[in-house]
Amino acid sequence: DRLGRRELGWIIENRLLVDRLWTAAQQAGVRMHCPDRITGLEQGLDGASVELESGRRLRARLVVGADGGASRVRELAGIGTRGRSYGQRGLVAYIGHERPHQATCWQRFLPGGPLAFLPFPDGPEGPRSSIVWSLPDEEAERLLHADPARFLVELSRAFDGPLGELTSVSARAAFPLRRQLAATQHHGRVVLVGDAAHVVHPLAGQGVNLGLRDVSALLDTAGRAAESGADIGAPARLARWNRRRRSDNTVSAHAFDLIDRIYSNDAPLPVMVRGHFLGIAGRVPPLNRALWRHAAGT
């Protein structure tokens, strides 16, 4: 309602999104070299080339590194990173529950880290949600291997939410949480997007969205260059894109970091600060609208 929309956003299952993107790439005539790996990268004044493990060498005016947090493109381009480990893991699973989720996300901030329930299509046995539970490493390891019944008891106690009895849990997995920012998202004719450029805390569910915004801005930059017959990989043009995206991504990463520090803490000062923060955000219309717009990616 605050943005004139019925929904703030949508949750899409990762494997469904990946499947649709692969299909779209094939339909667009994208030439695939898969499976393969990049082993070398060279840049020149008018283009760049990459060497693949298969021995193929590909040339282009622009190289886009979208190969994840352990990006080989970033490494070969000589771009460093900085960040920190949260000493946490994100435990994920599908949870069955008694009451419908009503297409609503729920999140609780706990001393060990935030717990999110995200709506998921109902299964044969009834309503389901997916969870992301940020936990200290040792606690995550214990709950990852806990008996399912015991896990549901502890999850129910932690969530204490409106979904009624928690009835089932799928196989569980966990991944380490960290903040990692590339020193730059652009070097010569190489740009980094998504996790190759920025790994953030999952508490706001914005990691993929930041990557999609990188790509959207890059398409806009390249499209305007192509329309005018200019070089889409011109370093000066990419530098402007880099300033725009790196500013947004850096502010977002540190904002998520601050929220985690404030809300996942039972010490008196953070408790006082978070109450005032919510109060101020709710009472100042421009700030309130800005927060909603940023969450919606507009």
Domain boundary among 144, 177, 210: 177
Domain boundary among 138, 156, 177: 177
pLDDT digits (tens, 9 = 90+) for 197-235: 999 988 777 889 999 999 999 999 999 999 999 999 999
Q: Can you tell me which residue has the tokens 């005018």?
A: 228
3-state secondary structure of 146: coil
pLDDT attached to residue 52: 96
Give the residues of the chain that fall short of pLDDT 50. 280-281, 283-284, 286-288, 290-292
Written as one string, the DSSP assignment of 132-169 is EEEEEHHHHHHHHTS-HHHHHHHHHHHH--TT-SEEEE
DSSP 79: -
- The pTM of the full predicted model, rounded to 2 decimals, is 0.84
Computed on alpha carbons and rounded to an integer, the radius of gyration of the chain in Å comes to: 22
3-state secondary structure of 2: coil
**Residues 251 and 179: beta-carbon distance below 8 Å:** no
pLDDT attached to residue 265: 58
Q: Are residues 122 and 162 in the same domain?
A: yes
Distance CA 271, CA 42 (A): 51
pLDDT attached to residue 203: 79
Residues 6+ apart with CB under 8 A from 257: 179, 201
pLDDT digits (tens, 9 = 90+) for 64-99: 999 999 999 999 999 999 999 999 999 999 999 999
Distance CA 272, CA 265 (A): 11
pLDDT attached to residue 10: 80
Q: Are residues 157 and 245 in the same domain?
A: no
In a domain? residue 284: yes
Q: Are residues 136 and 252 in the same domain?
A: no
pLDDT attached to residue 284: 43
Q: Are residues 99 and 225 in the same domain?
A: no
In a domain? residue 31: no
DSSP helix, strand, coil percent of the chain (3-state; round to 5): 40, 30, 30
pLDDT attached to residue 288: 47
Total domains, the chain: 2
pLDDT attached to residue 263: 65
Q: Are residues 131 and 188 in the same domain?
A: no
Q: Are residues 164 and 207 in the same domain?
A: no
Domain range spanning residue 172? 85-177
Q: Are residues 121 and 256 in the same domain?
A: no
pLDDT attached to residue 71: 97
Q: Are residues 96 and 220 in the same domain?
A: no
Q: Are residues 73 and 195 in the same domain?
A: yes
Distance CA 144, CA 90 (A): 10
Q: Are residues 266 and 140 in the same domain?
A: no
Q: Record the tokens describing residue 296, joined without a space.
A: 């919606």
3-state secondary structure of 264: coil
- Residue 271 belongs to a domain with what CATH number? 3.50.50.60
Would you say how long the chain is, in residues? Answer: 298
Domain boundary among 177, 199, 216: 177
Q: Are residues 191 and 285 in the same domain?
A: yes
- Residue 148 belongs to a domain with what CATH number? 3.30.9.10
Q: Are residues 214 and 68 in the same domain?
A: yes
